[in-house]
Amino acid sequence: MRMKNNLFWTALLALALVSCRGDGPRVDIKSEADLAGRKIVTVAGSYYDGKYSAQEGVDMLRVNTEADGLMAVRQGLADAFVIDEVMFSQETLDQMGLEKACSGEECFPCAFAFPKGDDELLPAFNEFLAQMRQDGSLDAHAAHWIEGGPELPQQEENAVKRSDEPIRYLIVLTTAPICFLKDGGWTGLDVDLMRRFAAWYGRPLQVSDVPIGSAMIALQTGKADVMSGCLFPTEERRQHVTFSDPYYYCRPGIFVRSGATVARKPLWERVKNSFHQSFVAEGRWKLIVYGLLMTIAITLLSILLGTLLGIGFCAMLLSRRKWLRGCAEGYSAFMQGIPTLVLLLIMFYVVFASANVTGSFVAVVTFALFFASSSGTVFASSIQSVPRGQWEAGYALGFTKFGTFRHVVYPQALKIGFGPYVSHCISLLKGTSIVGYIAVQDLTRASDLLRSQTYEAFMPLLAITVVYFLLAWLLRLMLNLAMPKK
């Protein structure tokens, strides 16, 4: 009954959101100067973020992705969105009820970023760029992706295979036409260029997408070889990474609500469209399914490993040796004191920096360590809340210490601790939604990708809301079924 109610409310909320179109007044902006006094939105950490937040009289809203920026303007949370002007197709803008008000004055170079001190890939890449610039194919490349010009002929593979080791390439932007998913693979202005380079250079290419903050760390800690996504070489960035020569020059665009009333299709049509765009087109549902499997795998493995570790941790907490107890208490204080995300980043970029392990492995280890502390504490406090007299009664009847624990104390502790344990499991499930930061494509990351691909915010969010809810419900059901009755 409760479940039905929850679903009902979720559905109602989603419908309300889907039907709500940007109805804020149209804002008159003709040049960059008109931005003064306006509320503008930028992508956090982007070049424009730095540039405009230094300007006086600008009220700045920072969002994580381009899709969020569009949404913020559409919903009237901000007046204008400043971002690279090439970022959105006319179709996308129409669909969102937005338009480009004007372009910025300055032109910015875009470049690929390499780790500091890279003396292999960077020179080669610059040489490749120079070649392309010289024979005009660099301009043709841009013309193809930005203006829809003819496609370049396929890059010839280098006859010499330098290595089977792939070039680990991170993209920090996931929008057309720069970097986007097509037919299940990444492509776009940047990705295609890098792919051509890899072929020319003679190494395979491995593309993954991560938020820009993690990408910077990955590059610095040697977890990646190169990154891009409309990156401007700023002074600050140069302190941490080395930039290639520019491969493209780009202007900022200022996007506002178009004021044109979007032709309102019937609600059902819109929901159907939105659903089609988000899940059916280009087989995007595969992303959600893959993410779902990843989330389930990480959660279950972490619970399993974490529970095993938690039993050991519990033994330490209950130990008669003072130093063991001290260690355990310190560990638990540490685990409770730092955010999971920070621990995850530290594990990936520091602890396992040089080890050749996948992000999902690190995620499982991190969450297991985390879960060991919370589950172990639950186990220990449940055992301690069984009165001392129960142990004595067991001993007095002739049971060994283990027998007393197994038959007398454990069944009672289980009753006390099972509820909190299940809660911790559910928390863990929800907590795994941050693994996108270390390039693991879980459920949340899948919905982020969908949103940046389609600019359909609500369908993917609604979908993962429902999926997480069902997962939590299933997990609880499963654990309750698995609970020993005696």
CB nearer to other proteins: pick between 4 and 322: 322
- Give the neighbor-by-neighbor strand order of the sheet with 252-257: 59-63, 39-43, 80-84, 252-257, 98-103
Beta strand 252-257 with 98-103 is: antiparallel
For the bound state, the minimum distance from the C-beta of residue 405 to other proteins, rounded and expressed in Å, comes to 13
Asked whether 121 and 165 are in contact (CB, 8 A), the reply is no
From residue 364 to residue 403, the character string flagging contacts with other proteins as x (rule: CB under 8 A) and all else as - is -----------------------x-xx-xx-xxxxxx--x
Q: How far is CA 388 from CA 371, 384, 415, in A?
A: 28, 8, 17
Do the beta carbons of residue 137 and residue 152 sit within 8 Å?
Answer: yes
CA 393, CA 461: separation in Å to the nearest integer? Answer: 55
Pick between residue 290 and residue 391 the one whose CB is nearest to other proteins: 391
Residue 345 beta carbon to other proteins: minimum distance, rounded to whole angstroms: 43
Name residues whose C-beta falls within 8 Å of residue 417's C-beta, 6 or more positions apart in sequence.
378, 379, 381, 382, 383
- The least distance separating other proteins from the CB of residue 387, rounded to whole angstroms, comes to 8
SS3 185: strand
Residue 328 CB, nearest approach to other proteins (Å): 20
In angstroms, how far is CA 130 from the centroid of its own chain? 34
Round to whole Å and give the CA distance between 377 and 194: 49
Q: How far is the CB of 330 from other proteins (least distance, A)?
A: 22
Phi then psi for residue 181, to 5 deg, are -85, 130
Q: How far is the CB of 485 from other proteins (least distance, A)?
A: 11
Side-chain-side CA neighbours of residue 321 (13 Å): 6
Using CB under 8 A, which of 89, 103, 206, 412 touches other proteins?
A: 412
Provide the 3-class DSSP secondary structure of residue 387: coil
Residue 132 Cα distances to 136, 247, 248, angstroms: 6, 10, 12
For residues 50 to 79, the per-residue mask of contacts with other proteins, x marking binding by CB under 8 A and - elsewhere, is ------------------------------
Out of 116, 161, 264, 407, name the contact with other proteins by CB under 8 A.
407
Between 204 and 387, name the residue whose CB sits nearer to other proteins: 387
Distances (CA, A) of 137 to 112, 133, 191: 18, 6, 16
Task: Tell which residue, 93, 231, 248, has the closest CA to residue 173.
Answer: 231
Which one, 2 or 321, has the nearer CB to other proteins? 321
CB of 396 to other proteins, least distance (A): 4
Taking CB under 8 A as the criterion, the residue among 24, 202, 411, 420 binding other proteins is: 411
CB of 409 to other proteins, least distance (A): 10
The span from the CA of 163 to the CA of 225, in Å, is: 14
The CB-of-399 to other proteins minimum distance in angstroms stands at 7
Is 264 among the residues that bind other proteins (CB under 8 A)?
no
**Is the N-terminal amide bond of 339 cis, ω within 30° of 0?**
no
Using CB under 8 A, count the residues that bind other proteins. 17
Give whichever of 76 and 411 is closer to other proteins, judged by the CB atom.
411
Determine the 3-state secondary structure of 11 from DSSP: helix
Least Å distance between CB 486 and other proteins?
A: 8
Which one, 264 or 415, has the nearer CB to other proteins? Answer: 415
Question: In 53-209, which ranges are E strands?
Answer: 59-63, 80-84, 98-103, 108-110, 113-115, 167-171, 180-182, 185-187, 205-209
Q: Closest distance between other proteins and the C-beta of residue 389, in Å?
A: 4
Binding residues for other proteins (CB under 8 A): 387, 389-390, 392-393, 395-400, 403, 407-408, 411-412, 415
